[in-house]
Copies of this chain bind each other. A is one copy, B any other.
Amino acid sequence: MNTIGHIFRLTTFGESHGAAIGGVIDGCPSQLKLDFDFIDSELLRRKTAQSSTASQRKESDRVEWLSGLLDGVTLGTPIAFIVRNEDCKPEDYENLKDVYRPSHADFTYEQKYGLRDWRGGGRASARTTLPMVVAGAIAKQILNEKGIKIYAEVVCMGDAEQAKREGDTVGGIVECRITGVPAGLGDPMFGKFSAELAHAMFSLPAVKGFEIGDGFALAKMKGSEANDTFINKDGQITTLTNHSGGIQGGITNGNDIVFRLAFKPIPSIAQPQQTVNRLGEPCEIAIEGRHDVCALPRALVLVEAMAALVSVDSIAQLQ
């Protein structure tokens, strides 16, 4: 359950304040010369997404490559990598050890496992998305050679500066576009490209909504408005409009894949909040620590990474 993908598979591990977080990529093609500079630049996008709204944790985020490579070239065997957790301040969380932060996973993890790593959110921390970025960067490199590009952008976001002053946080909407996708990716029934994308995106923290093409707006259209007319453009069959977001019957039609994600506001707010502790006793907390005001700037590279993983895996399934 910590693995995603069918052929190109990523397994991740690690807690926020444990020794390290990392991943194992299985099924990566051999003979690929990894672009480490690109991987680092993607990690940097995640880390320094914004200056004013980001958490202040000092993470060097240096990737240690453990296996699967010879002189930087993939061997076809599993590529394992880790990033050490540095600048851990578990004491920031000591006072939260026995209380359930509202809309965090403290309570649910404890219900599921009988215990939880209370230091910085443990496995539920956004820090655990780092391995996705590493794997996503490798996936992007593979896609790039096939002419497939992925871009995510913020299309809607609350007023972060004001929220910061108020000890509050904001959510927003991200739109992502995959271009150059060949027709024929995705499988009927339970392997639809859209379903795989949705699954991957809901694996990101704070995602609460996903729509493809015109999405929820399609619910208000008539068939005559929503249908994408097929046309012959320079000898190539394509569609005049792209209400479908590049996917019909779960299979890509060669148009851009377009989807949007709703991110809820980060639940760690500085304002005092009512909650209960492990014994069910009411208490008040104010989450100090180092936290982002908005997840979106950091999230862009994550969304692209997950989209890249789904795309590479789907291409690998073509025979």
Contacts and interface: CB of A to CB of B under 8 A. Distances in A.
Interface of A: 1-4, 7, 9, 11-15, 18-22, 24, 26-27, 29-31, 64-70, 73, 75-80, 82, 100, 102-105, 107-109, 111-117, 122-124, 128, 156, 158, 163, 166, 168-173, 183-192, 194-203, 205, 207-232, 235-237, 239, 243-245, 247-254, 262-269, 271, 273-276, 280-282, 316-317, 319
B12 A103 contact: no
Contact of A262 (B75, B79, B189, B216): B216
B264 A77 contact: no
Contacts of A75: 15, 113, 115-117, 122-123
A310 B66 CA distance: 27
Given A100-B237, A230-B276, A245-B208, A111 B222 contact: no
Contact of A102 (B14, B229, B269): B229
Interface centre among A216, A221, A249 (most CB of B within 10 A): A249
Contacts of A199: 190, 195-196, 198-199
B18 A66 contact: yes
B3 A190 contact: yes
B248 A189 contact: no
B264 A219 contact: yes
Q: Count copies of this chain in the complex.
A: 4
Nearest to A79: B13
Contacts of A215: 208-209, 262
Nearest to A69: B18
Nearest to A294: B223
Contacts of A211: 208-211, 216, 262
Contact of A219 (B13, B22, B263, B269): B263
Given A111-B183, A282-B232, A190 B249 contact: no
Contacts of A243: 103, 264
A74 to B, nearest CB: 9
A94 B9 CA distance: 32
A11 B26 contact: yes
Contacts of A269: 223-224, 227
A115 B209 CA distance: 35
Nearest to A103: B227
A108 B13 contact: no
A213 B209 CA distance: 9
Contacts of A275: 229-230
Given A22-B66, A199-B199, A208-B213, 15 more contacts: A2-B78, A18-B68, A30-B114, A70-B122, A80-B82, A108-B252, A123-B189, A194-B208, A195-B202, A209-B209, A209-B218, A210-B210, A211-B262, A224-B271, A232-B282
A202 B194 contact: yes
A199 to B, nearest CB: 4
Given A27-B1, A109-B249, A215-B262, A227 B267 contact: yes
